Chains A and B, each alone.
Chain A
Amino acid sequence: MIRFLTRRRGGARADWTDWFARIYLLIGLLVMFGPVAWLALSSFKTQTALQEFPPSLLPMGQKQVALPGTERPLPVFLVPQPDGVAQERVMVRRVGLEGQFVDPADPARRIERARLTAVTPVRELHFAIENYIEPLKQFNFTRFLGNSLFVTIVSTAITLLINAMCAFALSKYEFRGRDGIFIFILSTLMIPITVVLVPAFLIVTGLGLGNSLWGVILPPAATPTGVFLLRQYMLTIPDELMDAARMDHASEWRLFWRIILPLAAPALAVLAIFSVVWRWNDFLWPLIVLNRQENFTLQLGLAAFQGELQTQWHYLLAMTVVTLLPVTLVFAFLQKYITTGIASSGMK
């Protein structure tokens, strides 16, 4: 890691281009990763901490101590003592502009009084784990998570299969109108999804798939991007391999299954990544198809936190982090394929 970071363009000393590159990359890191880091840190803040101004980067909160005999933990303040040194005291009661404080080490000894303007709250790092636990419990977020996983996995599997079959036919067989069909499929890329939203919705309801996860899975399963990507890749698989397999008694179906699919694995991986990201992040289409809460995907669940009058930021941020995790993992493990994919298709 250190070696990687201190790598130079060559030569014994760092060139100005090295410094330029490092600074440029550092700015890039801040711009790209900063908001994500802030999101992750903020997701651990309590609702009050979120509304603080000026905002803090770390999830800070007032230190609280549970005393015997009290129901809830009590806030801790720095209270100036007669000798001039401020000490940590727990506020047990607030009366007007004054507070009553006790020593947390010996609460029974005596009660000190101090004006609220004279004391300062003691702040400490505090992770509000409840931001995560409560929505997962109360708001059925595990259900949303399950729905999202189901939609993403099934949809990706179907996408890979039917796109690969279509690409196989378009790349390896010669038939009348092949190029026409291919161009027709590609030309659908030019139609924005918003245009087909209403007709697609009518078809889905007509088929009785309204308000069902299959209504979310099936319509976007066949993608022109996927067909294009796989076809271009399959064109590079030599035809002699297919001839060899045919001489080896392989049926056309077996040829596809045993020769073409394994050899197209890099392209399939790229499409799988794209499909996972598309389906996982998809908001508009599920919003239209799904209207019962038990069928919601994560993205719809997240939107539910944003009310007309009030937004529950702490839950929203925490669940956004949950939503980001799977996609981040996919990227982390398959980034090699992503670069080749983007390089080969020019899409992302």
Chain B
Amino acid sequence: MSTLSLRGIVRQFGPLRVIHGIDLDIAQGEFVVFVGPSGCGKSTLLRIIAGLDQPNGGQITIDGRDVTGTRAAERGLAMVFQSYALYPHMTVRQNLAFGLENQRMAKEEVARRVAEAARMLQIEHLLARKPGQLSGGQRQRVAIGRTVTREPGIFLFDEPLSNLDAELRVQMRVELTALHKRLQATMIYVTHDQTEAMTMADRIVVLRAGRIEQQGSPLELYNRPANKFVAGFIGSPRMNFLDGQAVGGRSVAFEGLPNLDIPAARETTEGEAVTLGVRPEHLAFTDGAGLPGTVDIVEQMGGESYIYVTLANEARLTVRRPGQTQLHAGEPVRVAIDGAAHLFGRGDDEHAITPRRLP
């Protein structure tokens, strides 16, 4: 269990700067998830924390100790790799013990830790096998077991679930959360999947193009996205966006559609270009005033339904309703906001306009 802090971390490959001065503090026992689209620098940042990559500037401290120039081996961290990176020529037992043997640990202690990790991850019956004889999920457990035996200050995970099938991914997600509870360890987890981030994180750090866009608890990010990027990235299906203009300090005008009253528009100047953001679950069909459109496609999930609607001005909306729906493709509908709406600036700065929420 360790704390970590990053100060002004910069990384560039040649003239290309991929990490732009990141500041971050991670508390003891926290489960932090770095999330962002491909190429946002999240894996690079993790490798810099691990010591596998050196930053071009900035400072990394672990438990108050400056480790910026320290080699990976001496930082006391352990990492699960995307490809698992199990040593193919060693048995599972040797894989688990390799890191401990490198530290010249006593044989009995190595055996004890390997046995304990194997029991915890239920891979005891696999100890004599080679990684090639294991299924994806089993390899994943061994890779996690390898970090558990090390009893590291911080666990690092680099997209560990991306090679698993959907069902196994859900199961491993639960197990990882349980593991975190049991070990009370500091964990840093990198993923591009916002569902993993939402379900596991104590705190989510959203990265884009080497910068932190927003950080906070999953619900903070969901309820109060700081900008359009975070709003679009967190939540599934994706938030709906409609481009419009602020009118009269209280409503937003859309081309070819009736105006909508949005309290957030109080903060805008007359005629300012804004984007309205509404999550699919915060839309409903109405008989009264609403945005007119036609149903495109209906997806019945049983427990809930997704209805894709094309509005009168050709803009598209996704509506998510609980239960099953009687709507059919081609039916005319009226869509109204039934919950939170967000308003964002447009252009270079797509920040959220306060107050951020309805009602």
* Residues of A participating in the B interface, judged by any CB pair closer than 8 Å: 238, 240-241, 243-251, 254, 258-259, 262-263, 265
Contact = CB atoms under 8 A, between A and B. Distances in A.
B81 A249 contact: no
Given A240-B81, A240-B82, A254-B102, A246 B87 contact: no
Nearest to B97: A248
Nearest to A241: B85
B111 interface: no
B83 A248 contact: no
Given A241-B85, A249-B99, 19 more contacts: A238-B83, A240-B81, A240-B85, A243-B81, A243-B85, A244-B87, A245-B87, A247-B52, A247-B72, A247-B99, A248-B73, A248-B98, A249-B102, A249-B103, A250-B98, A251-B102, A254-B102, A263-B89, A265-B89
A241 B87 contact: yes
A258 B87 CA distance: 10
B323 to A, nearest CB: 46
B93 to A, nearest CB: 14
Interface of B: 47, 50-52, 71-73, 77-79, 81-83, 85-89, 98-99, 102-103, 146, 150
A195 to B, nearest CB: 41
A249 B89 contact: no
20 contacts: A241-B85, A241-B87, A243-B47, A244-B85, A244-B86, A245-B87, A245-B98, A246-B73, A247-B52, A247-B78, A247-B79, A248-B73, A248-B150, A250-B73, A250-B98, A250-B99, A250-B102, A251-B73, A254-B102, A265-B89
Contacts of A246: 51-52, 71-73
A262 B81 contact: no
Contacts of A249: 73, 99, 102-103
Contacts of A250: 73, 98-99, 102
Contacts of A245: 87, 98
Nearest to B102: A249
B146 to A, nearest CB: 7
A39 to B, nearest CB: 41
A249 B79 CA distance: 12
Contacts of B78: 247
B73 A259 contact: no
A246 B98 CA distance: 11
B355 to A, nearest CB: 46
Contacts of B71: 246
A239 to B, nearest CB: 9
Nearest to A263: B89
Nearest to B81: A240
A247 B147 CA distance: 9
A172 to B, nearest CB: 13
Contacts of B81: 240, 243-244
Contacts of B79: 243-244, 247
Contacts of A251: 73, 102
B155 to A, nearest CB: 11
A263 B88 CA distance: 8
A265 B88 CA distance: 12
B87 A247 contact: no
Contacts of A262: 89
Contact of B99 (A238, A240, A241, A248): A248
B72 to A, nearest CB: 5
A238 B87 contact: no
Contacts of A241: 85, 87
Contacts of A259: 87
B18 to A, nearest CB: 17
Contacts of A248: 73, 98-99, 102, 146, 150
